[in-house]
Structure 1
Amino acid sequence: MERYNLITKKNPREIVLLKGRPCAWGKCTFCDYISDNSTDDAEMANLNFQILSRVSGRAGALEVINSGSCFELPKSTLYRIRQVIKEKNIQQLFFESHWIYRNRLQEMREFMGIPIIFKIGVETFDNGFRENVLNKHASFRTPEEVAFYFDSPCIMVCIKGQTKEMIDNDIRILKKYFRMGTINVFTNNSTAIQQDAQLVKWFLKKYAYLNEDSSIEVLYQNTDFGVGD
């Protein structure tokens, strides 16, 4: 599994895929990514420190992801990230967090000591689909609630059961309320959730212009950031 890459096209940054404790929620119906975790602190520290040793600081920005939220990374890893930030003169950090940690974001900002772009896996702003189909366990009702805490939502498109109108609305919201975001075209995995091939064809045609939008990163495969398997 690749755990380090340098992203150069949009928002240039180094990105590392680390290992943390099991996702605190871990019940999203579409996700089989959460198996990349551990409860062995020594194992996690050994792996994470190796990956973090590859960070050069050449982009001035670093994104750290794991199969859950940044708050599930071991303390030793968080301290090492802070050390790398200082040693490599990192000026901006990207982290991801579940909605359940929304009241702890400022705590992490103060700990790291540099500006953090906090991502959140919204998946969709359609509350019924998000909760009843995807089982996301994110209780917000409006985009404004999300924007109060988070900087960059990740939405997921082209899932069977979604409609073109739902996707149009999600992208409209993304552009209206947030200065950046990520759109993931759902890729079939080991879960029962399935990709809608017709929606993919429609999306690729209608939203091709997003490839030139500097504020939106579109992932056509879940490894498009150059990490994962």
Structure 2
Amino acid sequence: MRGNGCKWRRCRFCDYHTDFSLDEQANFQLNSKVLAQVTGEFGSLEVINSGSFCDLDDATPEEIAKYFNQVCLLQGLPGQSKEGMLRDIELGLKYFDRVCVNIMVENTKPIKPDYGVIEIFKREVYPLYKDNEQVDILLNNTDFGVGV
């Protein structure tokens, strides 16, 4: 999958941001061609793109939704805003049956969570979705009991 390019371009382990195009129609045509090759032979498929879900052209999420019923979003990153987090969740709800929101936790990589963004999430985003049966929110990455 190809999008219009990762906006952060800060991850020291990633160079996916070099594969992008600002031509949304060309991105959609390429993404449609790739998705047309999905046969279901292996029972599951992981889709990645050159950046994030929010970097895809407007038509590709609808195309992806034909094959998948859930999206996983990472929030709590430097540079995210309340409006951006809300937009990501709403796009997820528009195109998928379920949305899983993971709040970034510190790990061994140099990119660290933005605790200010996480506080905004907890105060202004979490209350809007905490009771929504279509949204799973992992404030800690062990909330589902994995890794406990």
Q: TM-score, normalised by structure 1?
A: 0.42
Distance 2:81 2:108 in 1: 23
**1:119 touches 1:152 (CA, 8 Å); kept in 2?**
no
| Pairing 1:166–2:100 present | no
Pairing partner for 2:53 from 120, 125, 128: 125
Q: How does 1:58-137 map to 2 (within 5 A)?
A: 103-104=37-38, 106-109=40-43, 124-127=52-55
Larger Rg: 1
In structure 2, what is the Cα distance between the partners aligned to 1:198 and 1:210? Answer: 19
Relative to structure 1, the CA distance from residue 119 to residue 202 in structure 2 (aligned partners, 3 Å threshold; closer, same or farther) is farther
Stretches of structure 2 that go unaligned for 5 or more consecutive residues are: 1-10, 14-33
Structure 1 residue 108 displacement after superposition = 3.0
Residue 129 of structure 2 aligns to a residue whose secondary structure is: helix
Structure with greater proportional strand content: 1
In 2, Cα distance between equivalents of 1:223 and 1:213: 20
Residues 17-28 of structure 1: pairs in structure 2 closer than 5 A: none
1:159-208 residue CA offsets vs partner (Å, 9 max, x unmatched): 00222222121011011111112000111111121211111111112222
Instruction: Confirm whether residue 186 of structure 1 aligns to residue 77 of structure 2.
Output: no
Residue of structure 1 in register with 2:129 after alignment: 210
Q: Match for residue 3 of structure 2?
A: none
Structure 1 residue identity aligned to 2:64:
V
Partner amino acid, structure 2, of 1:205? R
Query: Against the structure 1 CA distance between its residues 105 and 221, is the aligned structure 2 distance closer, same or farther, given a 3 Å change threshold?
Result: farther
**1:178 to 1:119, Cα distance in 2 relative to 1, 3 A:** farther
In structure 2, what is the equivalent of residue 153 of structure 1?
Answer: 71
Shift of 1:126: 2.4
Equivalent pairs: percent with the same residue?
Answer: 29
1:223 equivalent to 2:137? Answer: no
Computed over aligned residues only, the root mean square deviation of the Cα atoms, in angstroms, reads 2.9
Q: SS where residue 167 of structure 1 aligns? A: helix
Length-normalised TM-score, structure 2: 0.63
User: 2:89 touches 2:99 (CA, 8 Å); kept in 1?
Assistant: no
Structure 1 158/184 Cα, relative in aligned 2: closer, same or farther at 3 Å? same
Q: Offset of 1:154 from its aligned partner?
A: 0.1
Superposed structure 1 runs of 4+ greater than 3 Å apart? 101-105, 118-124
Structure 1, unmatched stretches of 5+, are 1-28, 32-100, 110-115, 128-139
8 A contact 2:138–2:144 mirrored in 1: yes
Residue in structure 2 matched with residue 195 of structure 1 by the alignment: 113
